């Protein structure tokens, strides 16, 4: 799974730490999400999408 978290985070001038604080997780979780090494829960995916003013579909790119 690929994500656009890093791209959208940069658009809003947010650090990984800033985004982590907004969604209530550790910075390392954001790092793993950005690298595609962690599949978030639906709630976390929703919270990250909301924090970045986008939809889950726009944020996470699922590959077959």
Pick the closest to residue 42 from 30, 60, 21, 17 (CA basis).
60
Q: pLDDT, tens digit, for every residue of 17-58?
A: 999 999 999 999 999 999 989 999 999 999 999 999 999 999
Contact criterion met (CB below 8 Å) for 7 and 54? no
Q: What is the CATH number for 48?
A: 1.10.260.40
Answer whether residue 18 is part of any domain.
Answer: yes
Pick the closest to residue 46 from 34, 38, 31, 57 (CA basis).
57
Does pLDDT of 62 surpass 90? no
* Residues whose CB is less than 8 angstroms from the CB of residue 12 and which lie 6 or more positions away in sequence, other chains included: 52, 53
Does pLDDT of 61 surpass 70? yes
The reported pTM is: 0.91
Structural domain boundaries enclosing 21 = 2-58
Token digits for 26? 């550790």
Please report the pLDDT score of residue 13 as a whole number. Answer: 97
Answer whether residue 64 is part of any domain.
Answer: no
Distance between CA atoms of 24 and 18, rounded to whole angstroms?
10
Q: How sure is the predictor about 64, in pLDDT bands with cuts at 50, 70 and 90?
A: low
Answer whether residue 63 is part of any domain.
Answer: no
């Amino acid at each position: 799974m690929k994500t656009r978290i890093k791209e959208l985070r940069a658009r809003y001038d947010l650090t990984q730490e800033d985004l982590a604080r907004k969604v209530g997780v550790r910075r390392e979780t954001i790092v793993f999400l950005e690298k595609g090494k962690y599949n978030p829960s639906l709630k976390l995916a929703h919270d990250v999408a909301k924090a970045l003013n986008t939809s889950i579909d726009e944020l996470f790119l699922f590959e077959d």
